[in-house]
Structure 1
Amino acid sequence: MDTDVQNFAVAHLRRRPRATEIGGFVAGFDPATSSPYINYATPLPGARPGERDIAALVEAFRERGLKPRLEFAPDAAPAVAPALRRAGFTTEAVHAYLICTPTTLTPRAALLVETPSTDQDYASIDAALSEAFGNGFPPSAEGAARLRRTQENGGAVRFVRAPDGSCAGAASCSAPAVATSELAGVGTRPAHRSHGIAAAVTASLAETMFARGARSVWLEYSGEGSRRVYERVGFHPAGTRLYMSLED
Protein backbone atom coordinates (compact mmCIF):
# COMPACT_ATOMS: atom_id res chain seq x y z
CA MET A 1 0.00 0.00 0.00
CA ASP A 2 2.95 2.36 0.56
CA THR A 3 3.53 2.65 -3.20
CA ASP A 4 -0.14 3.47 -3.83
CA VAL A 5 -0.06 6.18 -1.16
CA GLN A 6 3.20 7.55 -2.53
CA ASN A 7 1.89 7.56 -6.10
CA PHE A 8 -1.10 9.49 -4.79
CA ALA A 9 1.21 12.03 -3.10
CA VAL A 10 3.02 12.58 -6.41
CA ALA A 11 -0.22 12.99 -8.37
CA HIS A 12 -1.66 15.29 -5.71
CA LEU A 13 1.33 17.66 -5.78
CA ARG A 14 1.25 17.76 -9.57
CA ARG A 15 -2.15 19.46 -9.19
CA ARG A 16 -0.62 22.45 -7.40
CA PRO A 17 -0.70 25.76 -9.31
CA ARG A 18 3.10 25.67 -9.58
CA ALA A 19 4.33 22.07 -9.70
CA THR A 20 8.01 21.42 -10.41
CA GLU A 21 9.82 18.12 -11.00
CA ILE A 22 13.45 18.05 -9.88
CA GLY A 23 15.78 15.04 -9.78
CA GLY A 24 13.26 12.41 -8.72
CA PHE A 25 11.12 14.79 -6.66
CA VAL A 26 7.85 16.62 -7.30
CA ALA A 27 7.52 19.96 -5.50
CA GLY A 28 4.06 21.48 -5.29
CA PHE A 29 3.90 25.25 -4.81
CA ASP A 30 0.87 27.48 -4.31
CA PRO A 31 1.64 31.22 -4.68
CA ALA A 32 -1.48 32.09 -2.65
CA THR A 33 0.12 30.91 0.59
CA SER A 34 3.51 30.41 2.23
CA SER A 35 2.24 27.57 4.43
CA PRO A 36 4.78 24.74 4.64
CA TYR A 37 1.87 22.31 4.88
CA ILE A 38 0.81 23.23 1.36
CA ASN A 39 4.19 24.02 -0.22
CA TYR A 40 6.24 20.85 0.04
CA ALA A 41 7.83 18.09 -2.05
CA THR A 42 7.64 14.32 -2.32
CA PRO A 43 9.83 11.73 -4.09
CA LEU A 44 8.82 9.48 -6.92
CA PRO A 45 8.51 5.87 -5.74
CA GLY A 46 11.93 4.22 -5.85
CA ALA A 47 13.78 7.54 -6.23
CA ARG A 48 17.54 7.50 -5.48
CA PRO A 49 18.51 11.19 -5.30
CA GLY A 50 22.09 12.38 -5.38
CA GLU A 51 23.62 15.46 -3.77
CA ARG A 52 22.95 17.61 -6.82
CA ASP A 53 19.31 16.54 -6.96
CA ILE A 54 18.76 17.54 -3.35
CA ALA A 55 20.67 20.80 -3.77
CA ALA A 56 18.47 21.70 -6.74
CA LEU A 57 15.35 20.87 -4.73
CA VAL A 58 16.51 23.05 -1.84
CA GLU A 59 17.22 25.92 -4.23
CA ALA A 60 13.68 25.67 -5.66
CA PHE A 61 12.32 26.30 -2.17
CA ARG A 62 14.85 28.98 -1.22
CA GLU A 63 14.23 31.07 -4.34
CA ARG A 64 10.56 31.21 -3.35
CA GLY A 65 11.33 32.14 0.26
CA LEU A 66 10.00 28.80 1.54
CA LYS A 67 11.32 26.19 3.95
CA PRO A 68 12.49 23.03 2.12
CA ARG A 69 10.09 20.35 3.31
CA LEU A 70 8.98 16.87 2.24
CA GLU A 71 6.19 14.43 3.06
CA PHE A 72 6.40 10.82 1.86
CA ALA A 73 5.95 7.12 2.61
CA PRO A 74 9.57 6.08 3.34
CA ASP A 75 9.10 2.42 2.45
CA ALA A 76 8.14 3.43 -1.10
CA ALA A 77 11.49 5.21 -1.60
CA PRO A 78 13.97 3.75 0.93
CA ALA A 79 16.99 5.66 -0.38
CA VAL A 80 15.45 9.10 0.10
CA ALA A 81 15.48 9.62 3.88
CA PRO A 82 19.19 8.71 4.28
CA ALA A 83 20.11 11.03 1.40
CA LEU A 84 18.10 13.89 2.91
CA ARG A 85 19.72 13.39 6.31
CA ARG A 86 23.16 13.58 4.74
CA ALA A 87 22.09 16.93 3.27
CA GLY A 88 21.09 18.26 6.69
CA PHE A 89 17.36 17.51 6.71
CA THR A 90 15.83 16.46 10.02
CA THR A 91 12.67 14.60 10.90
CA GLU A 92 9.64 16.69 11.87
CA ALA A 93 7.33 13.76 12.52
CA VAL A 94 6.47 10.18 11.65
CA HIS A 95 2.74 9.57 11.26
CA ALA A 96 0.99 6.24 10.92
CA TYR A 97 -1.77 6.08 8.34
CA LEU A 98 -4.94 4.02 8.06
CA ILE A 99 -6.71 2.65 4.99
CA CYS A 100 -10.39 2.04 4.30
CA THR A 101 -11.81 0.07 1.36
CA PRO A 102 -15.38 -0.46 0.17
CA THR A 103 -15.45 -3.87 1.88
CA THR A 104 -14.31 -2.54 5.28
CA LEU A 105 -16.38 0.68 5.38
CA THR A 106 -19.01 0.78 8.13
CA PRO A 107 -21.51 3.59 7.34
CA ARG A 108 -22.54 5.90 10.18
CA ALA A 109 -26.00 7.37 9.53
CA ALA A 110 -26.96 8.71 12.96
CA LEU A 111 -26.25 12.36 12.08
CA LEU A 112 -27.19 14.51 9.11
CA VAL A 113 -24.01 15.11 7.12
CA GLU A 114 -24.20 17.98 4.62
CA THR A 115 -22.32 19.21 1.58
CA PRO A 116 -21.50 22.94 1.75
CA SER A 117 -23.13 25.09 -0.91
CA THR A 118 -22.85 28.74 0.15
CA ASP A 119 -19.99 31.08 0.95
CA GLN A 120 -21.31 31.18 4.51
CA ASP A 121 -21.07 27.37 4.74
CA TYR A 122 -17.43 27.37 3.63
CA ALA A 123 -16.51 30.23 5.94
CA SER A 124 -18.21 28.48 8.84
CA ILE A 125 -16.35 25.24 8.13
CA ASP A 126 -13.02 27.05 7.92
CA ALA A 127 -13.71 28.79 11.25
CA ALA A 128 -14.81 25.55 12.91
CA LEU A 129 -11.69 23.70 11.78
CA SER A 130 -9.52 26.54 13.04
CA GLU A 131 -11.15 26.24 16.46
CA ALA A 132 -10.99 22.44 16.37
CA PHE A 133 -7.23 22.51 15.83
CA GLY A 134 -6.54 24.99 18.61
CA ASN A 135 -6.54 28.11 16.41
CA GLY A 136 -3.20 27.09 14.96
CA PHE A 137 -4.27 28.79 11.75
CA PRO A 138 -6.70 31.72 11.65
CA PRO A 139 -9.92 31.53 9.65
CA SER A 140 -9.49 33.31 6.32
CA ALA A 141 -11.12 33.97 2.99
CA GLU A 142 -8.37 31.91 1.35
CA GLY A 143 -9.02 28.99 3.69
CA ALA A 144 -12.71 29.02 2.79
CA ALA A 145 -11.85 29.34 -0.91
CA ARG A 146 -9.47 26.38 -0.67
CA LEU A 147 -12.27 24.25 0.77
CA ARG A 148 -14.56 25.31 -2.08
CA ARG A 149 -11.90 24.40 -4.64
CA THR A 150 -11.58 20.97 -3.07
CA GLN A 151 -15.32 20.41 -3.42
CA GLU A 152 -15.50 21.79 -6.96
CA ASN A 153 -12.39 20.07 -8.34
CA GLY A 154 -13.30 16.44 -7.75
CA GLY A 155 -12.77 16.20 -4.01
CA ALA A 156 -15.38 16.50 -1.29
CA VAL A 157 -16.12 18.53 1.84
CA ARG A 158 -18.68 17.34 4.37
CA PHE A 159 -19.90 18.87 7.64
CA VAL A 160 -22.42 18.53 10.45
CA ARG A 161 -24.37 21.65 11.26
CA ALA A 162 -24.60 22.92 14.85
CA PRO A 163 -28.01 23.87 16.33
CA ASP A 164 -27.25 27.55 15.71
CA GLY A 165 -26.66 26.91 12.00
CA SER A 166 -22.87 27.10 12.10
CA CYS A 167 -20.48 24.19 11.56
CA ALA A 168 -20.02 21.76 14.45
CA GLY A 169 -17.42 19.61 12.71
CA ALA A 170 -16.14 18.79 9.24
CA ALA A 171 -13.53 17.11 7.08
CA SER A 172 -12.45 17.00 3.44
CA CYS A 173 -11.19 14.48 0.94
CA SER A 174 -8.95 15.21 -2.02
CA ALA A 175 -9.94 14.17 -5.52
CA PRO A 176 -8.97 10.54 -6.17
CA ALA A 177 -5.70 9.78 -7.97
CA VAL A 178 -4.30 6.36 -8.84
CA ALA A 179 -7.54 4.93 -7.37
CA THR A 180 -7.00 6.28 -3.85
CA SER A 181 -7.83 9.49 -2.00
CA GLU A 182 -6.57 11.24 1.12
CA LEU A 183 -9.06 12.21 3.80
CA ALA A 184 -7.80 15.06 5.96
CA GLY A 185 -8.65 17.87 8.33
CA VAL A 186 -11.16 15.94 10.44
CA GLY A 187 -12.06 18.40 13.17
CA THR A 188 -14.87 19.00 15.66
CA ARG A 189 -15.35 22.14 17.70
CA PRO A 190 -14.74 21.41 21.42
CA ALA A 191 -18.34 22.12 22.43
CA HIS A 192 -19.62 19.43 20.03
CA ARG A 193 -17.19 16.58 20.66
CA SER A 194 -18.19 13.06 21.73
CA HIS A 195 -21.33 13.12 19.59
CA GLY A 196 -20.08 11.01 16.66
CA ILE A 197 -19.42 13.92 14.30
CA ALA A 198 -15.90 12.84 13.29
CA ALA A 199 -17.07 9.31 12.52
CA ALA A 200 -20.08 10.59 10.55
CA VAL A 201 -18.15 12.94 8.26
CA THR A 202 -15.33 10.41 7.79
CA ALA A 203 -17.71 7.65 6.75
CA SER A 204 -19.65 10.00 4.47
CA LEU A 205 -16.49 11.13 2.68
CA ALA A 206 -15.18 7.60 2.21
CA GLU A 207 -18.55 6.51 0.82
CA THR A 208 -18.50 9.47 -1.60
CA MET A 209 -15.02 8.59 -2.89
CA PHE A 210 -15.91 4.93 -3.36
CA ALA A 211 -18.97 5.98 -5.37
CA ARG A 212 -16.59 7.92 -7.62
CA GLY A 213 -14.43 4.87 -8.27
CA ALA A 214 -11.72 5.05 -5.60
CA ARG A 215 -10.56 1.63 -4.40
CA SER A 216 -9.31 3.01 -1.08
CA VAL A 217 -9.26 6.10 1.14
CA TRP A 218 -6.42 6.78 3.56
CA LEU A 219 -5.81 9.19 6.41
CA GLU A 220 -3.31 9.98 9.14
CA TYR A 221 -4.38 10.12 12.77
CA SER A 222 -3.13 12.17 15.69
CA GLY A 223 -3.79 9.98 18.72
CA GLU A 224 -5.26 6.77 20.03
CA GLY A 225 -8.67 8.35 20.54
CA SER A 226 -8.96 9.40 16.91
CA ARG A 227 -7.55 6.07 15.74
CA ARG A 228 -10.36 4.23 17.51
CA VAL A 229 -12.93 6.52 15.87
CA TYR A 230 -11.55 5.76 12.40
CA GLU A 231 -11.25 2.05 13.06
CA ARG A 232 -14.94 1.92 14.01
CA VAL A 233 -15.71 3.39 10.59
CA GLY A 234 -13.65 0.71 8.84
CA PHE A 235 -10.09 2.06 8.62
CA HIS A 236 -7.14 -0.18 9.53
CA PRO A 237 -3.36 0.34 9.92
CA ALA A 238 -1.36 0.26 6.68
CA GLY A 239 1.96 2.13 6.99
CA THR A 240 3.78 5.32 7.95
CA ARG A 241 4.53 8.70 6.43
CA LEU A 242 7.68 10.69 7.13
CA TYR A 243 7.90 14.49 7.38
CA MET A 244 11.35 16.06 6.90
CA SER A 245 12.56 19.65 6.58
CA LEU A 246 15.74 21.71 6.34
CA GLU A 247 16.17 24.58 8.75
CA ASP A 248 17.88 27.85 7.75
Structure 2
Amino acid sequence: MDTPVQSFAVANLRRRPVVVETGGFVVGFDPDTTSPYINYATPLLGAAPTGSDVAALVAAFRGRGLKPRLEFAPDGAPAVEPALRAAGFTVEAVHEYLVCTPGSLTMPQADGGSGPVVETPDSDADYSAVDAALAEAFSGEFASSPEGANRLRRNQESGGAVRFVRAPDGSCAGGATCSAPAVGTSELAGVGTRPAFRGRGIAAAVTAALAEAMFHKGADSVWLEYSGDGSRRVYERIGFRPQGTRLYMSLES
Protein backbone atom coordinates (compact mmCIF):
# COMPACT_ATOMS: atom_id res chain seq x y z
CA MET A 1 0.00 0.00 0.00
CA ASP A 2 1.26 3.49 -0.90
CA THR A 3 0.76 4.69 2.67
CA PRO A 4 3.61 7.22 3.12
CA VAL A 5 2.96 9.07 -0.13
CA GLN A 6 -0.82 9.18 0.34
CA SER A 7 -0.45 10.21 3.99
CA PHE A 8 1.86 12.99 2.84
CA ALA A 9 -0.68 14.15 0.24
CA VAL A 10 -3.27 14.56 3.01
CA ALA A 11 -0.89 16.37 5.36
CA ASN A 12 0.39 18.64 2.61
CA LEU A 13 -3.07 19.75 1.49
CA ARG A 14 -3.92 20.58 5.08
CA ARG A 15 -1.22 23.26 4.89
CA ARG A 16 -3.08 25.20 2.18
CA PRO A 17 -4.51 28.65 3.00
CA VAL A 18 -8.07 27.26 2.78
CA VAL A 19 -8.83 23.65 3.70
CA VAL A 20 -12.15 21.84 3.34
CA GLU A 21 -12.65 18.32 4.70
CA THR A 22 -15.74 16.47 3.55
CA GLY A 23 -16.80 12.84 3.15
CA GLY A 24 -13.35 11.32 3.51
CA PHE A 25 -11.62 13.91 1.32
CA VAL A 26 -9.27 16.79 2.06
CA VAL A 27 -9.42 19.72 -0.36
CA GLY A 28 -6.70 22.38 -0.44
CA PHE A 29 -7.45 25.79 -1.96
CA ASP A 30 -5.18 28.75 -2.63
CA PRO A 31 -7.17 31.98 -3.20
CA ASP A 32 -4.26 33.47 -5.16
CA THR A 33 -4.79 31.16 -8.12
CA THR A 34 -7.45 29.19 -9.99
CA SER A 35 -4.92 26.60 -11.19
CA PRO A 36 -6.30 23.05 -10.95
CA TYR A 37 -2.76 21.86 -10.22
CA ILE A 38 -2.77 23.81 -6.96
CA ASN A 39 -6.47 23.60 -6.03
CA TYR A 40 -7.27 19.91 -5.73
CA ALA A 41 -8.37 17.15 -3.34
CA THR A 42 -7.08 13.84 -2.05
CA PRO A 43 -8.77 11.07 -0.05
CA LEU A 44 -7.98 9.99 3.46
CA LEU A 45 -6.33 6.58 3.76
CA GLY A 46 -8.92 3.85 3.30
CA ALA A 47 -11.70 6.27 2.33
CA ALA A 48 -14.84 4.61 0.93
CA PRO A 49 -16.96 7.53 -0.29
CA THR A 50 -20.67 7.29 -1.02
CA GLY A 51 -22.38 9.06 -3.89
CA SER A 52 -23.42 11.86 -1.53
CA ASP A 53 -19.82 12.19 -0.31
CA VAL A 54 -18.63 12.71 -3.88
CA ALA A 55 -21.46 15.18 -4.53
CA ALA A 56 -20.36 17.23 -1.51
CA LEU A 57 -16.80 17.16 -2.79
CA VAL A 58 -17.91 18.44 -6.20
CA ALA A 59 -19.94 21.19 -4.54
CA ALA A 60 -16.86 22.38 -2.63
CA PHE A 61 -15.15 23.04 -5.97
CA ARG A 62 -18.15 24.32 -7.91
CA GLY A 63 -18.95 26.82 -5.18
CA ARG A 64 -15.58 28.43 -5.87
CA GLY A 65 -15.84 28.24 -9.65
CA LEU A 66 -13.12 25.57 -9.82
CA LYS A 67 -12.80 22.25 -11.62
CA PRO A 68 -13.23 19.25 -9.28
CA ARG A 69 -9.90 17.48 -9.35
CA LEU A 70 -8.01 14.91 -7.27
CA GLU A 71 -4.49 13.54 -6.98
CA PHE A 72 -3.91 10.37 -4.99
CA ALA A 73 -2.12 7.04 -4.69
CA PRO A 74 -4.93 4.57 -5.49
CA ASP A 75 -3.53 1.74 -3.37
CA GLY A 76 -4.00 3.97 -0.33
CA ALA A 77 -7.76 4.24 -0.92
CA PRO A 78 -8.89 1.55 -3.40
CA ALA A 79 -12.60 2.40 -3.15
CA VAL A 80 -12.14 5.99 -4.32
CA GLU A 81 -11.54 5.51 -8.05
CA PRO A 82 -14.75 3.50 -8.64
CA ALA A 83 -16.80 6.03 -6.66
CA LEU A 84 -15.37 8.92 -8.70
CA ARG A 85 -15.94 7.12 -12.00
CA ALA A 86 -19.56 6.48 -11.02
CA ALA A 87 -19.95 10.25 -10.58
CA GLY A 88 -18.52 11.02 -14.03
CA PHE A 89 -14.90 11.70 -13.14
CA THR A 90 -12.33 10.65 -15.72
CA VAL A 91 -8.63 9.88 -15.49
CA GLU A 92 -6.29 12.68 -16.56
CA ALA A 93 -3.10 10.68 -16.04
CA VAL A 94 -1.42 7.86 -14.14
CA HIS A 95 2.06 8.78 -12.98
CA GLU A 96 4.68 6.48 -11.54
CA TYR A 97 6.58 7.96 -8.64
CA LEU A 98 10.15 7.41 -7.52
CA VAL A 99 11.51 7.45 -3.97
CA CYS A 100 14.96 8.35 -2.66
CA THR A 101 16.32 7.62 0.82
CA PRO A 102 19.46 8.83 2.58
CA GLY A 103 21.06 5.48 1.83
CA SER A 104 20.32 5.59 -1.90
CA LEU A 105 21.11 9.26 -2.61
CA THR A 106 24.15 9.67 -4.86
CA MET A 107 25.33 13.23 -5.35
CA PRO A 108 26.10 13.86 -9.05
CA GLN A 109 29.71 13.97 -10.16
CA ALA A 110 30.45 16.51 -12.87
CA ASP A 111 32.92 15.78 -15.65
CA GLY A 112 36.15 17.65 -15.14
CA GLY A 113 35.46 18.26 -11.47
CA SER A 114 33.13 21.24 -11.93
CA GLY A 115 29.40 21.40 -12.39
CA PRO A 116 26.34 23.54 -11.77
CA VAL A 117 26.48 25.64 -8.62
CA VAL A 118 23.22 25.18 -6.73
CA GLU A 119 21.92 28.17 -4.77
CA THR A 120 19.07 29.02 -2.41
CA PRO A 121 17.10 32.14 -3.42
CA ASP A 122 17.52 34.99 -0.94
CA SER A 123 15.85 37.97 -2.61
CA ASP A 124 12.62 38.89 -4.36
CA ALA A 125 14.55 39.01 -7.61
CA ASP A 126 15.77 35.44 -7.10
CA TYR A 127 12.28 34.09 -6.40
CA SER A 128 10.89 35.92 -9.42
CA ALA A 129 13.71 34.55 -11.59
CA VAL A 130 13.03 30.97 -10.46
CA ASP A 131 9.30 31.38 -11.08
CA ALA A 132 9.96 32.77 -14.57
CA ALA A 133 12.43 30.00 -15.39
CA LEU A 134 10.02 27.26 -14.35
CA ALA A 135 7.22 28.85 -16.38
CA GLU A 136 9.52 28.80 -19.43
CA ALA A 137 10.73 25.28 -18.71
CA PHE A 138 7.19 23.93 -18.64
CA SER A 139 6.29 25.61 -21.94
CA GLY A 140 3.66 27.97 -20.65
CA GLU A 141 1.62 25.46 -18.59
CA PHE A 142 1.46 28.32 -16.12
CA ALA A 143 2.45 31.96 -16.35
CA SER A 144 5.06 33.50 -14.11
CA SER A 145 3.54 35.93 -11.64
CA PRO A 146 4.16 37.71 -8.34
CA GLU A 147 1.85 35.15 -6.72
CA GLY A 148 3.98 32.30 -8.06
CA ALA A 149 7.15 33.90 -6.72
CA ASN A 150 5.43 34.42 -3.36
CA ARG A 151 4.43 30.74 -3.22
CA LEU A 152 8.07 29.78 -3.73
CA ARG A 153 9.13 32.07 -0.90
CA ARG A 154 6.44 30.72 1.42
CA ASN A 155 7.57 27.18 0.68
CA GLN A 156 11.18 28.01 1.51
CA GLU A 157 10.24 29.88 4.68
CA SER A 158 7.79 27.25 5.97
CA GLY A 159 10.18 24.31 6.11
CA GLY A 160 10.37 23.33 2.46
CA ALA A 161 13.16 24.23 0.06
CA VAL A 162 13.78 25.97 -3.25
CA ARG A 163 17.03 25.48 -5.13
CA PHE A 164 18.24 26.87 -8.45
CA VAL A 165 21.22 27.30 -10.72
CA ARG A 166 21.97 30.85 -11.79
CA ALA A 167 22.38 31.69 -15.49
CA PRO A 168 25.38 33.76 -16.64
CA ASP A 169 23.21 36.88 -16.88
CA GLY A 170 22.11 36.53 -13.26
CA SER A 171 18.70 35.04 -13.98
CA CYS A 172 17.73 31.42 -13.31
CA ALA A 173 18.79 28.59 -15.63
CA GLY A 174 16.74 25.96 -13.82
CA GLY A 175 15.40 25.00 -10.44
CA ALA A 176 12.98 22.96 -8.37
CA THR A 177 11.12 22.90 -5.06
CA CYS A 178 10.52 20.46 -2.24
CA SER A 179 7.64 20.60 0.23
CA ALA A 180 8.33 20.59 3.94
CA PRO A 181 8.53 17.03 5.31
CA ALA A 182 5.39 15.44 6.75
CA VAL A 183 4.81 11.90 7.99
CA GLY A 184 8.47 11.16 7.29
CA THR A 185 8.56 12.06 3.61
CA SER A 186 8.65 15.07 1.29
CA GLU A 187 7.52 15.76 -2.28
CA LEU A 188 10.05 17.14 -4.74
CA ALA A 189 8.33 18.89 -7.64
CA GLY A 190 8.62 21.35 -10.48
CA VAL A 191 12.08 20.30 -11.66
CA GLY A 192 12.59 22.49 -14.71
CA THR A 193 15.44 23.77 -16.85
CA ARG A 194 15.10 26.50 -19.45
CA PRO A 195 15.63 25.08 -22.97
CA ALA A 196 18.86 27.03 -23.57
CA PHE A 197 20.49 25.39 -20.53
CA ARG A 198 19.43 21.77 -20.88
CA GLY A 199 21.96 18.96 -21.00
CA ARG A 200 24.26 20.57 -18.43
CA GLY A 201 23.31 18.53 -15.37
CA ILE A 202 21.15 21.22 -13.79
CA ALA A 203 18.15 18.96 -13.08
CA ALA A 204 20.31 16.35 -11.36
CA ALA A 205 22.15 18.98 -9.34
CA VAL A 206 19.08 20.75 -7.97
CA THR A 207 17.22 17.48 -7.35
CA ALA A 208 20.10 15.98 -5.37
CA ALA A 209 20.59 19.21 -3.43
CA LEU A 210 16.90 19.32 -2.48
CA ALA A 211 16.83 15.68 -1.40
CA GLU A 212 19.93 16.25 0.72
CA ALA A 213 18.32 19.33 2.30
CA MET A 214 15.20 17.36 3.25
CA PHE A 215 17.25 14.56 4.77
CA HIS A 216 19.02 17.16 6.90
CA LYS A 217 15.55 18.29 8.04
CA GLY A 218 14.78 14.76 9.20
CA ALA A 219 12.87 13.27 6.25
CA ASP A 220 13.23 9.51 5.84
CA SER A 221 12.53 9.75 2.11
CA VAL A 222 11.84 12.13 -0.75
CA TRP A 223 9.53 11.27 -3.65
CA LEU A 224 8.80 12.72 -7.06
CA GLU A 225 6.98 12.04 -10.30
CA TYR A 226 8.78 12.07 -13.62
CA SER A 227 7.65 13.19 -17.07
CA GLY A 228 9.49 10.79 -19.38
CA ASP A 229 12.23 8.20 -19.72
CA GLY A 230 14.93 10.88 -20.00
CA SER A 231 14.03 12.52 -16.71
CA ARG A 232 13.58 9.13 -15.07
CA ARG A 233 17.16 8.19 -15.95
CA VAL A 234 18.39 11.47 -14.42
CA TYR A 235 16.59 10.74 -11.16
CA GLU A 236 17.62 7.10 -11.03
CA ARG A 237 21.28 8.04 -11.41
CA ILE A 238 21.10 10.03 -8.19
CA GLY A 239 19.27 7.36 -6.21
CA PHE A 240 15.52 7.55 -6.90
CA ARG A 241 13.77 4.19 -7.31
CA PRO A 242 10.26 3.22 -8.55
CA GLN A 243 7.78 2.53 -5.78
CA GLY A 244 4.17 3.18 -6.83
CA THR A 245 1.70 5.17 -8.90
CA ARG A 246 -0.46 8.24 -8.45
CA LEU A 247 -3.76 8.84 -10.16
CA TYR A 248 -5.08 12.19 -11.39
CA MET A 249 -8.86 12.44 -11.90
CA SER A 250 -11.16 15.36 -12.70
CA LEU A 251 -14.74 16.20 -13.54
CA GLU A 252 -15.39 18.32 -16.60
CA SER A 253 -18.20 20.87 -16.66
Pick the TM interval, shorter chain. over 0.9
Q: How does 1:1-248 map to 2 (within 5 A)?
A: 2-108=2-108, 110-248=115-253
More deviation, 132-141/223-232: 132-141
Contiguous gaps of at least 5 residues in structure 1: none
Contact 2:102 2:215 (C-alpha < 8 Å) held by counterparts: yes
Q: Displaced runs of 4+ in structure 1, greater than 2 A?
A: 108-111
3-state SS of 1:136 partner: coil
CA distance, structure 1, for counterparts of residue 13 and residue 132 of structure 2: 25
CA distance, structure 2, for counterparts of residue 62 and residue 140 of structure 1: 25
3-state SS of 2:214 partner: helix
The percent identity for this pair of structures is 74
Shift of 1:135: 1.8
CA distance, structure 2, for counterparts of residue 60 and residue 27 of structure 1: 8
Paired residues, number:
248
Query: What is the TM-score normalised by the length of structure 1?
Result: 0.99
CA distance, structure 2, for counterparts of residue 74 and residue 35 of structure 1: 23
More deviation, 107-116/7-16: 107-116
Residue identity matched to 2:61:
F
Deviations 1:12-48 (A, max 9, x none): 0000111011010000111111110111000001100
Match of 2:112 in 1: none
Shift of 1:136: 1.9
Contiguous gaps of at least 5 residues in structure 2: 110-114
CA RMSD of aligned residues (A): 0.8
Residue identity matched to 2:140:
N
CA distance, structure 1, for counterparts of residue 224 and residue 139 of structure 2: 20
